[in-house]
Chains A and B, each alone.
Chain A
Amino acid sequence: MKDENLFNALIELADDHSILCHRLGEWCGHAPILEEDLALTNMALDLIGTARNLYTYAAEIEGRGRSEDDLAYLRNERQFRNLLMVERPNGDFAHTMLRQLFFAAFMEPYWQAALESRDETLRGIAGKALKEMGYHIRHAGEWVIRLGDGTEESAERMQAAMEALHIYVDELFHSSPAAEAAAKAGLLPERGALRTAWLENITPILAEARLELPEAPNPQIGGRAGLHGEDLGHILCEMQYLQRSHPGATW
């Protein structure tokens, strides 16, 4: 393999995007208004596009002839490296929008920083994803504001979403050894350095939504080591079922 650390770091990122896409895809046809069916699918499409670029590049770095689909469909729970946040069940619309905001508010400065990567392919992936994440922040952020400062019920639901999800925020800023090595090599951004930028994205939105980010003395961390909650296994059962039950088939 050309660069095992880069391969592993790319898999982490690709898994984040693929699993979050999967969750947004679950909404399709079930959103609170038709416009949101379209918007959620739009965001899911952005995420799967980035996931595909990342898996494809990871496969190329690995150089063992695996495809994007081999990487997405033929690894098990312990081999998945996504953040715990993205595998959380959709919950209600408040949960889904807050999760989207948290994720996009991180990925936007991440891709911004990745424009400085030494690696041309990564700069290309970053350039496309950066614009998309800006849109996700706007879209999810507007909903977080509407719901946080809407009715009594919506404010309560938004608060509940905050309580449920804030414990997964810290993991955004953690780096696996692979991600750290890729950052040292100037290939990918240093995740820990993005906390300020993330807060800058989040703070005005939360203020307008009358929400506060609670402290999380015991954040949930483990996705990068393949230590997930129980939901991921079920996601993979569904997602991988055809590839697993028809080995080697072309779709």
Chain B
Amino acid sequence: MYSQGLIGADSRTGESEEFLEAFQKRIDAEEKIEPKDAMPEGYRRTLIRQIGQHAHSEIVGMLPEGNWITRAPSLKRKAALLAKVQDEGGHGLYLYAAAETLGVSREQMTEELHSGRAKYSSIFNYPTLSWADIGAIGWLVDGAAIMNQIPLCRCSFGPYARAMIRICKEESFHQRQGYEIMLTLCRGTPEQKEMAQDALNRFWWPALMMFGPHDKDSAHSEQSMKWKIKRFSNDQLRQKFIDATVPQAEYLGLSVPDPDLRWDPELNDGKGGYRHGEIDWDEFWRVVKGDGVMNRDRIAARRKAWEEGAWVREAALAHAEKRKAAMAAAE
């Protein structure tokens, strides 16, 4: 999800050459940058944007999966899905907290999500149409997220890197769980296998798009790589994901919906890898810019929860004030 975190990022920065050089030295020495350290404004802004969008992705990502909680096909699956969606909420909470160390509030970030100024991963603008989609999301979407996030564990910004370590552990559990759902479906009835194939057909390309535009079209990547916010390019990570995932699809007995997919022994410095067909970037930008099937519904759902919860938050504040006043009076 998280290369897309850089979409809309503004890494321009106005500090002196001297300051920037000293900062770069720390980065190059693999020192972690901590919240109270001096940092270029562009670095701070880029991170706020990326971590905020990462957090939003976790929160919006609760919706497509939450869509199947009440229809999960067994008690065991229902419990696992509840726990998974809860984990995503927990990741959101961590990440908001990490972004807050950079001087932005959760309310501000929430407002940006609701107004459409902040983005979240395009993948969550696709609907979950069958139970197999819950498997496919775990396998492909969490799988792609892990590819992006493992390098983020070494991100130059300390709080983000540390949050990623825990998040990656949980994501890799989710990924195995998703794959296991797919495996169960593929070993089940013909209808179940068809459900699994259909989910792969619908989620394969959007999962590849999660890594963001091709390197040549990725406007903000270069500065982020230099600052070690990002460690690998979009295309490198996408390639790693494809190479890891195609054999997994084969093991399931499913076909990857790309007629141009083929093994190329020359790829990856002669170690071999899969060449893939053309990604539909028109679709990608359409969805990023707000015209995917579910964009409007996702934001509407988040706003509805927020607006309908306003009286609850107000009451909690009012009660806390009353309690504080009562305690002060008692002293």
Could you list 11 A-B pairs, sorted by A, with CB under 8 Å? A32-B308, A32-B309, A34-B89, A41-B82, A44-B82, A49-B79, A69-B75, A147-B319, A150-B315, A151-B314, A246-B191
A251 touching B305 by the CB < 8 A rule?
no
Does residue B261 face the partner (Cβ distance < 8 Å to A)? no
Flag B286-322 by CB within 8 Å of A: 1 or 0 each. 0000000000000001001110111111111011101
Does residue A211 face the partner (Cβ distance < 8 Å to B)? no
Chain B: residues with CB nearer than 8 A to chain A? 59, 62-63, 66, 69-79, 82-83, 85-86, 89-90, 92-93, 96, 131, 184, 187-189, 191-192, 301, 304-306, 308-316, 318-320, 322
Query: Shortest Cβ distance from B246 into chain A, in angstroms?
Result: 26
A52 touching B75 by the CB < 8 A rule?
yes
Residues of A within 8 A of B184 (CB): 250-251
B75 touching A150 by the CB < 8 A rule?
no
B89 touching A154 by the CB < 8 A rule?
no
B305 touching A32 by the CB < 8 A rule?
yes
Residues of B within 8 A of A154 (CB): 311-312, 314-315, 318
A29 to B160, CA, bound (A): 23
Does residue A226 face the partner (Cβ distance < 8 Å to B)? no
Residues of B within 8 A of A239 (CB): 70-71
A25 touching B69 by the CB < 8 A rule?
yes
A45 touching B311 by the CB < 8 A rule?
no
- The A interface, classified by DSSP as helix, strand, loop or mixed, is helix
Residues of B within 8 A of A48 (CB): 75, 78-79, 82
Query: Shortest Cβ distance from A3 into chain B, in angstroms?
Result: 23
Residues of B within 8 A of A243 (CB): 73-74
Flag A41-62 by CB within 8 Å of B: 1 or 0 each. 1101100110110010000000
A151 touching B86 by the CB < 8 A rule?
no
In the complex, which range does the number of interface residues on chain A fall in?
35 or more
Query: Shortest Cβ distance from B103 into chain A, in angstroms?
Result: 20
Chain A: residues with CB nearer than 8 A to chain B? 18, 21-22, 25-26, 28-38, 41-42, 44-45, 48-49, 51-52, 55, 68-69, 72-73, 92-93, 145-147, 149-151, 153-154, 157, 235, 238-239, 241-243, 246, 249-251
B62 touching A251 by the CB < 8 A rule?
no
Closest to A243 in B: B73
A29 touching B71 by the CB < 8 A rule?
no
Residues of B within 8 A of A150 (CB): 314-316, 318-319
A93 touching B85 by the CB < 8 A rule?
no
B78 touches which of A25, A30, A31 (Cβ 8 Å): A25
A44 to B283, CA, bound (A): 38
Residues of B within 8 A of A92 (CB): 308
Query: Shortest Cβ distance from A143 into chain B, in angstroms?
Result: 8
A145 touches which of B71, B312, B319 (Cβ 8 Å): B319
A241 to B192, CA, bound (A): 14
Q: Count chain A CB atoms within 10 A of each CB in B71, B78, B187, B318 and give the residue with the most.
A: B78
A238 touches which of B70, B77, B82, B306 (Cβ 8 Å): B70
B188 touching A26 by the CB < 8 A rule?
no
A25 to B71, CA, bound (A): 10
